[in-house]
Chain A
Amino acid sequence: MSGLLEIRNLRVHFPIGGGLFSKPKLLRALNGISLDVQEGEVLSIVGESGCGKSTLANAILGIQKPTSGKVLFEGKEIHHQRRRDIAERIQPIFQDPQSALNPRKTVKDLIAMPLRVRGAHSAKEIGRTVDEIMELVGLPQRLGHSYPTALSGGQRQRIAIGRALVTRPKLIVCDEPTSALDVSIQAQILNLLADLRAELNLTYVFISHDLSVVRHISDRVAVIYLGRIVELGPADDLLDDPLHPYTRKLRSAHLSTAPHQELPKPVFKGGFPDPTNPPLGCHFHPRCFDALEVCETHVPGSVRRGRSDVACHLYTGLGTPGDDMTEIRRTGSTEEE
């Protein structure tokens, strides 16, 4: 069974810097990502800032051209289609509703924007659809002519959700949709997203760094480190019993709400590496307490463990003494440059 969204070995590289005489450095924002998203599921993408989450979101939305690889939606390459056609089926929700809403437009105009851009609807149709959508996302009709600056954060995010739904899309890419909101509002918005998903049979790609939010909403979780997926599995398995050392550390760095518990100790060796000059081998090895010799030279391939896929030499079996290079080549995981 093929998914609603298929990402095949996606790479996005940005040249950065570089003047007249110096060669630009290459930032590998995404370095060979492969993912399937099934219809109706919620796939969360988790990682530190700078790991490529947002680039991945932009690539799915069709506004970031891949350097290589493919993004297929319903079997068709996204980047070969007109943006307007993709927009009918894939829509974004952004992190900060303050930034995502034009302060000079009224609520109704904001929600109607994707329909107006499409240009295939009468004003009457648009008006009716917008009214339905406001009802759907829980915005009272009397706010229709207000400006977003007069509304609360939660209401603004409802407008942003309404705008994303107005073209009746199948897939919504949520880029940290709750992290700019008050904690009290976060739950409302998450519940709204969950209700809408059930009601409209939506599929979400949910980008977040908040593991408790992720657990609440996701079916599956992908953990990204420096442009590569290090672990991908069902949300419960991955969060309760993480396999990759990075996932484990992420989870233990998560703040607890218990009042007397101490702050978590720093769990990583060193800082986040320079993404223009990532460590060889497994990108995580300089910060990993379990690093083996092979981690410094060879990129780990993805291995199936239980219901999860994990890219770590602890599971590839390559790190144990007595291995020779032939086996490494067989798994196709030699360092690429």
Chain B
Amino acid sequence: MTMPERPPSSEDMAEIMPLSPARQALLQARGHVGLLVGLFVLLVVMVSAIFAPIVAPHDPYVQEIATKLSPPVWQEGGDWAHILGTDGLGRDILSRLIYGARVTLIAGVGAAIISGIIGTIIGMCGGYFGGRVDDFVVFLINVKLAMPGILIALSLVSIFGGSLVTITLILGLLFWDRFAVVARTTTQQLSKRDFITAAEVAGASSRWILMREMLPNLMNQIIVVASLEMALAILVEATLSFLGLGIQPPTPSWGLMISEGRTLMFAKPYLIMIPGIAIFALVVAINLIGDGLRDITSPEGKG
């Protein structure tokens, strides 16, 4: 048996280009089809939402009774002036879809950010401090998990009224549990690592350790959870709007559009299909992004 030969400068061999973990992830993202498709759809929705006044062909609030219920272009009687047709009040569906994307994205992103901050802080505290604090955090999480989210959202919205701000806040305050679970378990694992001990030995405060040592290591998982929660928040917002407890007319919202088209569902199915497809596509896209992010930031090895 001979020893495998080592190159003379084995230490120098590992001096690869300094690649930051973020840069590594970016390189891997290029090869991930699902992630790219998801990002593309989300980007299209976001750009049209941000530049809605430029992109939208019509004013989403203007009612043209003369052209009401005109079908989309690919159906008989369709008109290029209203590519996706008009609704029962003669409003351009494409324009309402584009303006509705603003509502949808604000509710989704806002709720994900609020619940992300709440859940991450609660979870990190439980995972890091342990003991009584952790008992309390687990209790909070269990209470939250036992609550039927949508029912609570419904009752809160009926109390506080259904503006975009209240809906975003309510969703944000309701959907932090998954963040807390993920942050708690990851923090527990990280707490055992020596770099946390090193910071403790150096005299770092708990806040320092959580924010400067722990949080950067949690970001991967948190972003993945955030994408899933965002999809969920979008669905719940659509549900609430559909039930008439969310965004109030005439503000365009995808859920509200389905609700308004409900009465004519059988005669004019495109009224609910188009906003339905929009919700479906956006939620699938966000879930694809979440899955893709999880794939390229697998927990071990890549840091």
Contacts and interface: CB of A to CB of B under 8 A. Distances in A.
Contacts of B20: 147
B152 interface: no
Interface in A114-141: 114, 117-118, 140
Interface string A262-289: 0000000000000000000000000000
B201 A155 contact: no
Given A61-B201, A84-B203, A150 B194 contact: no
B200 interface: yes
B14 A152 contact: yes
B217 A103 contact: yes
Contacts of B267: none
A146 B18 contact: yes
Nearest to A158: B11
A83 interface: yes
A92 B201 contact: yes
Range of interface residues on chain A? 35 or more
A94 interface: yes
Contact of A113 (B11, B18, B199): B199
A118 B203 contact: yes
Contact of A102 (B16, B217, B302): B217
A95 B197 CA distance: 12
Contacts of A252: none
Given A63-B197, A184-B6, A104 B303 contact: yes
12 contacts: A85-B203, A87-B201, A100-B198, A102-B217, A117-B204, A140-B15, A146-B15, A146-B19, A147-B18, A148-B303, A149-B302, A184-B10
Given A148-B303, A163-B198, A182-B10, 17 more contacts: A63-B197, A63-B200, A63-B201, A83-B201, A91-B201, A99-B194, A99-B195, A102-B216, A104-B217, A113-B204, A114-B202, A118-B202, A140-B15, A149-B303, A150-B17, A155-B11, A167-B202
Interface of B: 6, 10-11, 13-21, 193-195, 197-204, 208, 213, 216-217, 301-303
